[in-house]
Amino acid sequence: MAQGDDRPVAVARRRGRPVNSDSVETRNRILRASRQVVNERGYQAATFQAIAVAAGLSRPTLHYYFASREEIYQSLVVEAGAVVAELADRARRPATLVGQFAALVEAVREADSRDRSQIAFIVSARLESARNPELRPYASTGLRDCLATLVSAARARGELSDGVEVATVVDVLYAMLLGVVFYAGFVDDADDVFPITSQLVHLVSHGLVSDGRISATRCDTNDDTPSVVGGQL
């Protein structure tokens, strides 16, 4: 370069990853580490220092990608919502509510086998929103909304008997599904979840529905314990 020439010198880019792929990978690395910390220790423990250690990065690097841990958490919820959207898409394919719930449970199991931390975070997000009021705007990953849509459609198709409340069926299925998600994400290995999900689907299909419709419960005349009517809930 001639003296006095201030033009920048072109530097040949090394072959390998596409432009910006390192930045995308670093951001994903931060989010994976953040999910790990939140799942294992809770949101209050998910400081920039803890996340940096888990990610193997410096705190300035984290600040370059995220302004605050609230921003990180919001990104985690968005990712979890995308996972739930995939689960919901699978659930909508069968024609009946029981078939849809079975498809949803199977989709959870498959998602757990791909990335356990994503499934675990669905439960963590629900718990952390209860513990931390500032996280309540990010409480929902869409799982309950998915069930509400499925059950409402089942009502329109006549799959719910008169007297059965949509909200009650949604809450029952949501509680069972959260149990599966919790077990898959925190308790056991992915391979051990299959027998559990299979039994749950069997229980729902044979106990919740026997003649094609979900019935309301009644109480026995001798005591106040709810009983199963004709194999129905």
Mean pLDDT of the chain: 79
**Is 50:72 a contact under the CB 8 Å cutoff?**
no
Token pair, residue 133, equals 């009021």
**Using CA atoms, how far apart are residues 55 and 227, in angstroms rounded to an integer?**
52
Burial class of 230 by CB neighbour count within 10 A (0 to 12, 13 to 18, 19+): exposed
Instruction: Report the C-alpha gap between 119 and 80 in whole angstroms.
Output: 8
pLDDT of residue 195: 75
Cα–Cα distance measured from residue 155 to residue 205, given in angstroms and rounded to the nearest whole number: 17
pLDDT tens sequence across 117-149: 998 999 899 899 999 999 988 878 889 999 999
Question: What tens digit of pLDDT does each residue of 159-200 get?
Answer: 888 888 899 999 989 988 888 888 878 876 656 677 777 777
- Name the residue with tokens 């975070």: 121
On whether the CB atoms of residues 191 and 182 are closer than 8 A, the answer is no
**150 pLDDT band (50/70/90 cuts)?**
very high
Calculate the alpha carbon distances from 201 to 99, 188, 209 in Å: 9, 19, 11
54-95: per-residue pLDDT in tens?
999 999 999 999 999 999 999 999 999 999 999 999 999 999
Kindly report the number of other CB atoms within 10 A of residue 166's CB atom. 16
- The alpha helices in the chain, defined as continuous H runs, are 21-41, 48-55, 59-65, 69-91, 97-114, 116-131, 143-157, 166-182, 190-203
pTM of the model: 0.73
**Taking residues 35-51, what's their average pLDDT?**
95
Q: Over 80: is that where the pLDDT of 223 sits? A: no
Q: Is 232 helix (H, G, I), strand (E, B) or coil?
A: strand
Residue 232: phi and psi, rounded to 5, are -100, 160
Give the tokens for residue 36.
């790990």
Helix (H) or strand (E) holding 227: strand 226-227
Most distant CA pair in the chain: distance in Å? 103
Where does the pLDDT of residue 207 fall: very low under 50, low under 70, confident under 90, or very high at 90 and above?
low
